């Protein structure tokens, strides 16, 4: 990718390749299907949808509470890599644990799933914060896009292998598709662990020298004050958060963007987490849903790279505007969908914009915040995203349970997209063309 040639940038982006295996195989793919058809076979379809939505929302709520503190704590001691490794390890262990959950034991499966999401989301707080370390201001759209693109490719490749395992279990010495799914969870954990290693070895954290306040590089990612007691760091983290809340008016763009992101990214996350469950609920075959997910993964790889170029040529805000309007149209159409072919079409359309919306959100936010507090601010970004994700899946689940119609549940997501887009109008992008256009509304 032109302009992305640093070893540390590729090592950073490789973590997207690592953790996307969990997002594709577990969150979007096999867990919703296995939860409904294996672990909760004695539970009504709309009730299992409610439990799945509740599990997603519980995990998000816990991250909401923890993310700002974790980010500030990592900044105070330059612990981003260590804490990323700890959360990734917890997520991988929980994913392996799914292998041992017996049929019908949906509460245990849901508990491990929640822990896995916490590990996945918690590690992302520190991963996102490291973007400002490995890239300069004018490189971030491309580097962020590289990460998401590798995530779609890596997650798609492992997911394709896992799908083959379920279709042809005897090729792998497995008894049946159920056993293949269980071994797929193990493969995700191993993949996640192995491809986290490059970031830990080749990305160096920046730290501030306590004597002069200047930013320097620590090859081992360890600050001079690492000997401070943990309690001191913890108190300092809370003090930093209080300062950020008090001075948020000094970062108006970041504050408005956080509110916009809080809404529209919940729509994206809800579609990702609940789309398979929605397809099953309206009677689509599981194999068709898996094929659709593979389409999203492999279309997302080149499309996300393209959005990185769009941001450089046109601005990140315009790229976000394009992607979010596509989400609005696709969500509205999903209400009327009733065939696998239509599901494939929607998968292709969403694959074109999903990675772009995620990538440009991350890189645009990185340009609106003070670099020395990247962990803290990205903690707030993750907090806002997960705060909204508490609402979205539960909204879909409750609506489906109360009305008996999963179609009404999915259409409610439009409120999140449209309200987030409205707030995005008021975000001013540094260095972007202020000229209004249909793709760059007033307020840019």
Query: Would you say residue 108 lies in a domain?
Result: yes
Q: Which domain holds residue 84?
A: 7-207+230-424
Average pLDDT over residues 284-296: 82
Query: Would you say residue 216 lies in a domain?
Result: no
Query: Would you say residue 439 lies in a domain?
Result: no
Contacts made by residues 324-330, CB under 8 angstroms, sequence distance 24+: 324/264, 324/357, 324/417, 324/420, 324/421, 324/424, 325/421, 326/350, 326/352, 326/353, 327/264, 327/267, 327/268, 327/271, 327/353, 327/357, 327/417, 328/414, 328/417, 328/418, 328/421
How many C-beta atoms surround the C-beta of residue 391 within 10 A?
18
Confirm if 156 and 414 have CB atoms less than 8 A apart.
no
pLDDT confidence of 386, banded at 50, 70, 90? low
Grouping H, G, I as helix, E, B as strand and the rest as coil, residue 437 is: strand
356-374 residue pLDDT tens = 898 898 888 888 877 666 6
Say what the pLDDT of residue 53 is. Answer: 76
Taking CA atoms, 104 is separated from 54, 126, 223, 270, 354, in Å, by 18, 36, 48, 25, 34
Say what the pLDDT of residue 234 is. Answer: 58
103-148 residue pLDDT tens = 888 889 999 999 999 999 889 888 988 888 888 877 888 888 888 8
Token representation of residue 416: 């999140």
More confident residue, 91 or 277: 91
Our CA dihedral for 407, 412, 416, 418, rounded to 10 degrees, sits at 90
pLDDT confidence of 233, banded at 50, 70, 90? low
- Model confidence at 437: pLDDT above 50: no
Query: Would you say residue 387 lies in a domain?
Result: yes
d(CA 84, CA 67) in angstroms, rounded, equals 12
Query: Would you say residue 434 lies in a domain?
Result: no
pLDDT confidence of 444, banded at 50, 70, 90? very low
Average pLDDT over residues 32-52: 79
User: How many angstroms separate the first and last alpha carbons of the chain?
Assistant: 28
Q: Which residues pair with 215 in a beta bridge?
A: 208
Residue 235, Cα to own-chain centre: how many angstroms?
Answer: 29
Say what the pLDDT of residue 191 is. Answer: 97
- Model confidence at 14: pLDDT above 60: yes
Question: How many structural domains comprise the chain?
Answer: 1
Burial of residue 131 (number of CB atoms within 10 Å: 0-12, 13-18, 19+) = buried
More confident residue, 190 or 233: 190
Token representation of residue 239: 């003090």
- Model confidence at 274: pLDDT above 50: yes
Average pLDDT over residues 240-262: 74
- Model confidence at 75: pLDDT above 70: no
d(CA 56, CA 118) in angstroms, rounded, equals 10
- Model confidence at 280: pLDDT above 90: no
d(CA 246, CA 224) in angstroms, rounded, equals 28
Buried b (16+ CB within 10 A) or exposed e, 97-110: bbeebeeeebeebb
Query: Would you say residue 444 lies in a domain?
Result: no
- Which pTM was predicted? 0.72
Average pLDDT over residues 257-267: 86
Query: Would you say residue 432 lies in a domain?
Result: no
We report the CATH number of the domain holding residue 107 as 1.20.1250.20
Query: Would you say residue 97 lies in a domain?
Result: yes
């Amino acid at each position: 990718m032109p302009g992305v040639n640093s070893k540390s940038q590729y090592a950073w982006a490789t973590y997207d390749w690592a953790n996307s295996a969990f997002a594709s195989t577990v969150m979007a793919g096999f867990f919703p299907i296995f939860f409904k058809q294996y672990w909760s076979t004695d539970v009504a379809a709309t009730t299992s949808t409610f439990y799945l939505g509740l599990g997603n929302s519980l995990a998000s709520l816990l991250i909401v509470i923890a993310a700002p503190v974790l980010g500030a704590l990592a900044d105070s001691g330059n612990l981003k890599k260590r804490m990323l490794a700890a959360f990734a390890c917890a997520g991988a262990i929980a994913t392996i644990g799914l292998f041992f959950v017996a049929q019908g034991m949906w509460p245990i499966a849901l508990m491990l799933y929640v822990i896995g999401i916490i590990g996945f989301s918690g590690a992302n707080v520190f991963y996102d914060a490291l973007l400002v370390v490995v890239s300069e201001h004018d490189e971030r759209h491309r580097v962020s896009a590289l990460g998401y693109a590798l995530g779609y490719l890596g997650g798609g490749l492992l997911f394709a292998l896992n799908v083959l395992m379920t279709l042809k279990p005897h090729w792998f010495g497995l008894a049946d598709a159920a056993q293949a799914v269980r071994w797929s969870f193990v493969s995700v954990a191993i993949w996640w662990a192995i491809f986290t290693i490059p970031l830990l070895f080749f990305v160096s954290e920046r730290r501030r020298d306590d004597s002069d306040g200047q930013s320097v590089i620590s090859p081992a990612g360890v600050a001079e004050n690492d000997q401070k007691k943990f309690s001191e760091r913890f108190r300092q983290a809370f003090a930093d958060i209080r300062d950020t809340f008090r001075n948020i008016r000094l970062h108006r763009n970041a504050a408005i963007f956080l509110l916009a992101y809080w809404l529209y990214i919940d729509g994206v996350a809800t579609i990702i987490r609940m789309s398979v469950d929605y397809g099953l609920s309206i009677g689509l075959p599981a194999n068709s849903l898996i094929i659709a997910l593979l389409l999203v993964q492999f279309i997302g790889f080149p499309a996300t790279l393209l959005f990185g170029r769009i941001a450089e040529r046109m601005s990140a805000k315009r790229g976000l505007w394009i992607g979010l309007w596509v989400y609005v149209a696709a969500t509205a159409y999903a209400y009327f969908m009733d065939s696998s072919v239509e599901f494939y079409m929607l998968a292709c359309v969403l694959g074109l914009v999903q990675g772009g919306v995620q990538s440009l959100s991350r890189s645009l936010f990185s340009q609106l915040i003070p670099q020395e507090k990247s962990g803290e601010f990205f903690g707030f970004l993750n907090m806002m995203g997960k705060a909204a994700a508490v609402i979205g899946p539960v909204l879909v689940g409750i609506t489906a349970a109360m009305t008996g119609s999963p179609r009404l549940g999915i259409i409610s997501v439009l409120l999140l997209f449209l309200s987030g887009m409205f707030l995005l109008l008021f975000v001013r992008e540094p260095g972007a063309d202020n000229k209004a256009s249909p793709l760059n509304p007033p307020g840019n």
